[in-house]
Structure formats: C-alpha cells, structure tokens
Amino acid sequence: MEKRRLGRTDIQVSALCLGTMTFGEQNSEAEGHAQMDHAVEKGINFFDAAELYPIPPKKETQGRTERIVGTWFKKTGMRDKIVMATKVVGRTDMDWFRENGAKAKLVREEIEFAVDRSLKNLETDYIDLYQIHWPDRNVGGFGSNPTRWADVEPAPDENSIQSTLEILGDLVKAGKIRHVGVSNESAWGTMRYVAASEMYDVPRVVSIQNAYSLVNRTFETGLAEVARREDVGLLGYSALAQGYLTGKYRNGALPAGARKTLFNRLQRYEHPRAIEAVDAYLDLAQEAGLDPSQMALAFAMSRSFMSSVILGATTIEQLDTDIGAADVTLSADVLEKIDALHQEFGNPAP
C-alpha cells in the first residue's frame, strides 16, 4: 500500500483510509473489529472517525463508533501502528453532543470536552489528527463548496478561525492531539486557517476532508490549488458517491442492509441528471473491463491533491474490493473518457 505524506508533517498515511462511520449502526462491534483487522492486513495504517458517528447521527448511538475503535485498540495493542483521525462537530442545532444539552459550537469548553471524551472512547492518550467536522460560521450549505452561492446571515456569536486554532494549539501543547485538520471547508476558510498559522503561534492545518467523486469534482474549482500549494492534502470522502458508483442502486435497486435502503438519505444522487451521470460512469467501467468501485477509487487516488481516499464498507467483501483499487492504474484512454463525461455532466451531485 502506497504511503503519502500528511501535510508538512513527518507522518506517512496509506493512500486508502478506513472510514468507520458504519461502526455501531450498520456494523456491530465484531464486524468493525474484523474490518480493522482486514484493513491493517492489507497495508492500511490510517483510520478516520468522528464524535458524531455512527451515521445517521442520533443521540442514542453517538460515540459508538469511537468506542468500537477503542476496544479494538485495547484488544490488539495496535494503537502505535495506526494514524488515528477523529473530529469535533461544528456549530449545530443537534443538542446531544454536550452534557448540558447546549447546541454545539467551537468554544474552548466544548472543544476540550469533545477531545477528552474522544480520548476516553478511543482508549488512547493522543489523537494524531483532530479535525473540525464543519465550520463554526454559517455557510450556504453543508460541505462549504457549493456550485451555487447562497447568502446566509453570520451567527451573532461566530467564533473566529484564529480562536479555534488557539484552543487546538493548547491541546497540541498538552499532548492530547498531534495535528489539526479541517473538513467540509471552503477555499476561503482553508486559506484563513493557513493565514492564521502564519500570523500567530497556532497549529498549521495539515489536511482537508471534503467530498470528492466522479460526480462531485467541485474540490477542483478552487480547493485543489490550495491543497497543492499549501500542502493541505485532501482526505476524500464519498468517492463511491455513497454507493451509487458501485452500481448497487442501479435501476432503482435497494439491496438489503444498504444505507439507502435503511435510511433513505441519498437524494442528491437521485435526480435525473445525476442518475444519467452515474449510469455513464458505470458503462465506462464495464467497457474498460474495470470493477466500477475500483475505477472510481483509483481515479480519486490518482489526483495530485489527494492525500488519502476514505473507504466506507459494511462487509469484508466490499472492503476487499475497495482496497483492490490500490493496485489499479487507469489508462490515459480511461482518464480521457472520464474527463469527457465530466465535461458533459459536470458535478451533478455536489
């Protein structure tokens, strides 16, 4: 498994990262442990979690994912072999993340509470990469990289990027976290994080975790140049378009146990233009003799701004297929045809 440098740190992460957000909802503890065992056996040294997980977010399940990872660390003694990433929620109306029932925001008391709880859940005394799951400021839409601009009113008590980094800097000094990353951020927000680190004694962000797939290449519009020039590499999620680019939902299929079947949460991929685009990419994979999952993942891995592509699977068979993308190199012909499809369809599922 290829290893890539994380930002400007001395940390090397596998080009594929094990996403864990199904652990505790679609996957049991035993299944989560089996996925982690298999991932490590195949050369993955990078796991990603969040205080929010599992998905979909619910008060009753919040924190289960981290706890499952924590019991695996305790059982295997593998903590020092894994680069562990997790996240603190940004500003939200969900009121179950903090003990006092407050709606979460990025202030010192809440960030410190979240870090300490994640450390306890993960059964570790440090987190390698601590990420802001989404901004504290109000933005036009989740993901912060829209194809259309929407005006929003700033929150009256908005917390500055500088203040967030000052809090995280104190946690670095305390040895609780090693490095800082952002997620669902915009080009403007990412550059403000970088600028703050150059102006003040605060940590420099090393990564950005945003959506990226064949049907959502919006990262390339402004963020790709930021990632390349500032060494804030992409940790790409939803590279399989939440399962649509595997072909499992084609022609309206609803496989048992699949996320769409269970939770009906994937509407961004269901409007006619998105369906046409997904079908076109699936047809291209078939024409090229490629597994569609592996083609989509190999394309994401091939991007110069990509530090690691996050995998999400519910079975070992799916995970094994996905990891197989590490051995796939797309031909110039396939890459040219992918770009031609993108020219035709654009980003139908941002």
pLDDT digits (tens, 9 = 90+) for 189-220: 999 999 999 999 999 999 999 999 999 999 99
Q: What pLDDT, on a 0 to 100 scale, did the predictor assign at position 268?
A: 79
Is the model more confident about 47 or about 252? 47
Q: What pLDDT, on a 0 to 100 scale, did the predictor assign at position 186?
A: 96
What residue numbers bound the domain in which 49 lies? 3-243+292-328
For the chain, how many helices (H) and strands (E)? 11, 10
pLDDT, averaged across the chain: 95
Per-residue pLDDT band for 287 (boundaries 50, 70, 90) equals: very high
Q: Which residues contact 307 (CB under 8 A, 6 or more apart)?
A: 4, 5, 6, 7, 13, 207, 233, 234, 235
- 269 catalytic, yes or no? no
Q: What pLDDT, on a 0 to 100 scale, did the predictor assign at position 251?
A: 84
Residue 342 lies in a domain: no
Reported as a single tens digit per residue, the pLDDT across 58-102 is 999 999 999 999 999 999 999 999 999 999 999 999 999 998 888
Determine the average pLDDT of the residues in 153-170.
Answer: 96
Catalytic residue among 53, 193, 244, 269: 53
Residue 133 lies in a domain: yes
Residue 9 lies in a domain: yes
Residue 341 lies in a domain: no
Q: Which residues contact 46 (CB under 8 A, 6 or more apart)?
A: 13, 14, 16, 17, 18, 82, 83, 85, 308
Residue 336 lies in a domain: no
Residue 334 lies in a domain: no
Check which CATH number belongs to the domain holding 56 and give it.
Answer: 3.20.20.100
Q: What pLDDT, on a 0 to 100 scale, did the predictor assign at position 118?
A: 98
Q: What pLDDT, on a 0 to 100 scale, did the predictor assign at position 71?
A: 98
Please state, in angstroms and rounded to a whole number, the distance separating the CA atoms of residues 62 and 52.
6
Residue 107 lies in a domain: yes
- How many domains does the chain fold into? 1
N-terminal to C-terminal alpha carbon distance within the chain: 29
Determine the average pLDDT of the residues in 156-168.
Answer: 97
Residue 348 lies in a domain: no
